[in-house]
Amino acid sequence: MSFVVQPAQAHSPSSLGSPSLSSESSHSGKSLRSVAPRYLRIGTAVAGGGHHVDQPYPDPFTYDKPYRKVLAKEFNSASPENQMKWEFIHPERNRYNFGPADAIVRFARENGQVVRGHTLLWHSQNPAWLNEGTFTKAELRQILKSHIFTVVGRYKGKIQQWDVANEIFNENGEYRQENIWIRELGPGIIADAFRWAHEADPRAKLFLNDYGVEWPGVKVDAYEALAKQLLAQRVPLHGFASQAHLSMRYGAPDQLAGVLQRFDNLGLETAITELDVRMDLPEGGVPTAEQLTTQATYYKTVLDACLAVDSCHSFTIWGFTDKYSWVPVFFPTEGAATVMWDDFTRKPAYYTLRDTLARALR
Ligand code: 9MR
């Protein structure tokens, strides 16, 4: 994906902010986390780093007080959006930058939130010193091992789930050759990453995480085969997660429960880790009431899938306000992908999630 920088548009059309699928009054004033069943964590990405760096606003998590208030009130799980990625936390070979990640972990602790660590082995957002360096295979392996022990070790006991391997297969179900670790060291490195992470924090649940796995297909088949293989080798793999970056261009994720169930059947945990639902914006940039209703049903379909599968204990949306969404930066004609407008007023999707959580079996 390439960077297309476009400042976020500020809007909160009052006529469209009113709920259509469900009503504000039924749980008015209550938060998502407060109505959710106790076994289910409700999470969000915590905005900072990545695309935010090029936007005309200061670091959201650090400086936006109203943002922090909503973050603390609505969610009981937090995923650093970029702050634990290699380029951010390990910017030079012999220097780590823990400050921003530490601040999120502290905030989470103060607000009764667990943290999802993201991520340890990925093809993207790696620092230049790693991408452009010349290393022997033995050195590369040592670099990965030492990174995992350092980062996972630092947050030992403070991370509920780690996305150990992120987006390792392409759409054809083949290992991604742009992943430096897989390309240089072979896919066997994935098992090592899980073993090292487990050694560094034996209580953290270790996940495979990807997008494009919301419908059955070769990519899901590849993950299922890998999961079986790792489990047979007694590798400490604990979970499979669907990111669920959805676009209303491609239809509702109505087979997601079936996909998650396949991993549940292997004895794994499952999770939704990065849900958002983008749409083509009409001229003027304001979604129609009908689009917002459709968006709410997509959000509900994903939550229902998680609720239907026993092992799904973590449901995370990739940001809660359009003000900071990655979507318009990467897809310039699409947007409005989150559950709140720029000023944190709620969209129908928010109320639908809250009603669905309140009605869920406990
Ligand atoms: O939301 C993240 C954005 O700030 C970064 O610029 C971008 C760079 O790749 O990554 C975004 O988060 C991604 C996540 O880490 C992995 N799954 C896809 C997410 C959206 O691109």
pLDDT in tens, 202-212: 999 999 999 99
* CA of 50, closest atom in ligand 1: 6
**pLDDT recorded at residue 123:** 98
Tell me, in angstroms, the distance from the centre of ligand 1 to residue 242's CA: 14
Judge contact between 279 and 287, C-beta under 8 A: yes
15 or 306: which leads in pLDDT: 306
User: What residues act catalytically?
Assistant: 167, 274
| Percentage of the chain exceeding pLDDT 90 | 91
pLDDT in the model for residue 258: 98
With a cut of 50, say whether residue 275 has pLDDT above it: yes
Q: What is the mean pLDDT of residues 247-266?
A: 98
Mean pLDDT of the chain: 94
* CA distance linking residue 321 with residue 288, whole number of Å: 18
Give the residue-averaged pLDDT of 130-148.
Answer: 98
Q: What is the pLDDT of residue 32?
A: 98
Mean pLDDT of 253-259: 98
Residue 4 confidence (pLDDT) above 90: no
Amino acid 5: pLDDT? 33
Which pLDDT does position 27 carry in this prediction? Answer: 82
3-class state of residue 258 by DSSP: helix
**Is the per-residue pLDDT at 7 higher than 80?**
no
- Per residue in 12-27, pLDDT (tens digit) is 444 444 444 455 556 8
Residue 25 Cα to ligand 1 midpoint, Å, equals 34
Structure tokens given for 180: 């430096």
Instruction: List the domains of the chain with CATH numbers.
Output: 13-359 (3.20.20.80)
Read off the pLDDT band of 362 (50, 70, 90).
Answer: confident
Residue 114 pLDDT > 60: yes
Half-sphere exposure of 153 (CA within 13 A, CB side): 9
Question: What gap in Å lies between CA 94 and CA 349, rounded to an integer?
Answer: 44
Residue 142, phi then psi, degrees to nearest 5: -65, -35
CA distance 243 to 246: 9
Comparing C-alpha atoms, which of 161, 231, 150, 236 is closest to residue 193?
236
Q: Which residues line ligand 1 (CB under 6 A)?
A: 50-51, 81-82, 124-125, 211, 243, 245, 274, 326
Which atom belonging to ligand 1 lies closest to the Cα atom of 166? Answer: 16
Average pLDDT over residues 290-317: 98
Which amino acid residue places its CA nearest to atom 21 of ligand 1? 326
CB 271 within 8 A of CB 114: no
Residue nearest to atom 7 of ligand 1 (CA): 50
Neighbours of 293 (CB within 10 A): 16
Whether the full predicted model's pTM is greater than 0.75, yes or no, is: yes
Asked if the model's pLDDT at residue 145 lies above 50, the reply is yes
pLDDT in tens, 151-178: 999 999 999 999 999 999 999 999 999 9
**274, 321, 322, best to mutate for ligand 1 pocket (most atoms within 8 Å of CB):** 274
Torsion over CA of 24, 323, 85 and 169, rounded to 10 degrees?
70
Ligand 1 centroid to Cα of residue 81, in Å, is 7
Cα 315 to Cα 92: distance, rounded to the nearest angstrom: 33
- Give the model confidence (pLDDT) of 69-92 as tens digits: 999 999 999 999 999 999 999 999
Distance from the alpha carbon of residue 318 to the mean position of ligand 1, in angstroms = 9
Tell me what pLDDT residue 237 has.
99
| SS3 at position 321 | strand
